[in-house]
Structure 1
Amino acid sequence: MTLGSGGSSVVVPRNFRLLEELERGEKGIGDGTVSYGMDDGDDIYMRSWTGTIIGPHNSVHEGRIYTLKLFCDKDYPEKPPTVRFHSRVNMTCVNHETGVVEPKKFGILANWQREYTMEDILTQLKKEMSAPHNRKLVQPPEGTFF
Structure 2
Amino acid sequence: MSKIPRNFKLLEELEKGEKGLGAESCSYGLSDPEDMTLTHWNATILGPPNSTHENRIYSLTIECGPDYPEKPPVVRFISRINVPCVDFKTGCVLTSRFPLLRNWKRTYNMEILLLELRKEMATGSNRKLTQPEEGDVF
Question: What corresponds to 1:107 in structure 2?
Answer: 99
Q: Which residue of 1 aligns with 2:70?
A: 78
What is the percentage of aligned positions where both structures have the same residue? 53
Runs of 4+ in structure 1 deviating by more than 3 angstroms, as ranges, are none
Gaps of 5+ in 1: 1-8
2:48 maps to: 56
1:139 to 128, 131, 136: 131
- Report the Cα distance in structure 1 between the residues aligned to 2:17 and 2:92, rounded to whole angstroms: 21
Q: Please state how far the C-alpha of 1:137 moved relative to its aligned partner.
A: 0.6
Q: Please say which of residues 21-30 and 114-123 is displaced more in the overlay.
A: 21-30
The match for 1:24 is 16
How many residue pairs match? The answer is 137
TM-superposed CA distance for 1:12, in Å, is 0.7
Cα distance in 1 between the residues matched to 2:29 and 2:35? 12
Q: Secondary structure at the match of 1:53?
A: strand
Report the 3-state secondary structure (helix = DSSP H, G, I; strand = E; otherwise coil) of the residue aligned with 2:79: coil
- Name the SS of the counterpart of 1:108 in structure 2: helix
TM-score by length of 2: 0.97
Measured after TM superposition, the shift of residue 25 of structure 1 is 1.0
Partner of 2:79: 87
Secondary structure of the residue that 1:20 maps to in structure 2?
helix
TM-score, with normalisation over the residues of structure 1?
A: 0.92
RMSD of aligned alpha carbons? 0.6
Work out whether residues 92 and 133 of structure 1, in 8 Å CA contact, stay in contact via their aligned partners in 2: no
1:26 CA drift (Å): 1.3
Q: What is the identity, as a one-letter code, of the residue corresponding to 2:104? A: W
CA distance, structure 2, for counterparts of residue 121 and residue 45 of structure 1: 20
CA distance in 2, matches of 1:128, 1:24: 23
- Which blocks of at least 5 consecutive residues in structure 2 are unaligned? none
Deviation of 1:119 after TM superposition, in Å, equals 0.6
- Map Cα deviations across residues 64-90 of structure 1 (whole Å, 9 max, x no partner): 000000000000000000000000000
